[in-house]
Amino acid sequence: MPESGVFGFIYRVTDVIYKLAWSNILWFFTSGFPLVLFIFGDWIIPLALFLLIGPPGTVALFHVMSVWQKDGDLSVWNTYWSGWKKNWKRAYKVVDVYVIIGVILVVDLVVVANAPQSVLKWIGFLLFPTATLYILTSVTLLPLLVRYPWKLFELVKNAFVLSVSHLFSSTAVLLSLGVVIVTAVSFMPPLAFFFSASVTAWAFTWQTGRILDKIDRLQKERSESLESNAM
């Protein structure tokens, strides 16, 4: 493998593109294809299908990104199926519950937005920040799932705390992803097909890793400070 120079640069770029595209294709054909049915205007059938087959592959995709960012090199195929087998039971518990909560929030927002009574519309002022916090929590939820063997409540609580305590950077990641994906869908649909899920998983994993690394540094500095004060 070329390490430096022009050929090294080209190799690293093509390697990143290959891994993102290959992991995205694996996710789509094992988990994400029901979402295509949203194009036809229906949401119940694709949602039900995704809840049935989507969670293990989605978590496997995040497992690939976690291993990739930690070790730097990997076999996408082997790592994907390793993550699938390792986490499929927890994936159903976490992803299905989280998606169902999201659907309930969306339905509530639609009902409140179309309600004729002004009293009900005021409820939207409570639902909107709740939905915002729900979306922010998604940034760290699955990256934490593939890292730690936490139960559902502990996982969601820690994901919420990490995302909200780093509100600006988590929001920036979400907005940047939104702009990239909308642009790709509008002008380059094939790119959206090959990269949307994997780029999202990569960005969420990267953001979570940054937060955890920062926490580790602060803990080490605090520990060293306490040790020096004790001497």
The tokens for 90 are 């927890």
Measured distance CA(137)–CA(218) in Å, rounded:
22
DSSP class per residue in 181-221: HHHHHHH-HHHHHHHHHHHHHHHHHHHHHHHHHHHHHHHHH
Task: Give the list of residues 6+ apart from residue 154 with CB closer than 8 angstroms, or none.
Answer: none
Mind listing the pLDDT tens digit for each residue in 160-198?
999 999 999 999 999 999 999 989 888 888 888 889 999
CB atoms within 10 A of CB 181: 17
The tokens for 21 are 């595209």
The tokens for 164 are 């909200």
User: How confident is the model at residue 169, as a pLDDT?
Assistant: 94
H or E element at residue 157: helix 152-165
Measured distance CA(166)–CA(81) in Å, rounded:
32
Check whether 39 has a pLDDT greater than 80. Answer: no
Model pTM score: 0.91
Measured distance CA(72)–CA(209) in Å, rounded:
14
User: How confident is the model at residue 59, as a pLDDT?
Assistant: 97
Residue 174 contacts residue 148 (beta carbons within 8 Å):
no
Of 100-109, 122-131, 179-188, 200-209, the poorest mean pLDDT is in 122-131
Measured distance CA(181)–CA(189) in Å, rounded:
9
Mean pLDDT of the chain: 89
Residue 154 contacts residue 147 (beta carbons within 8 Å):
no
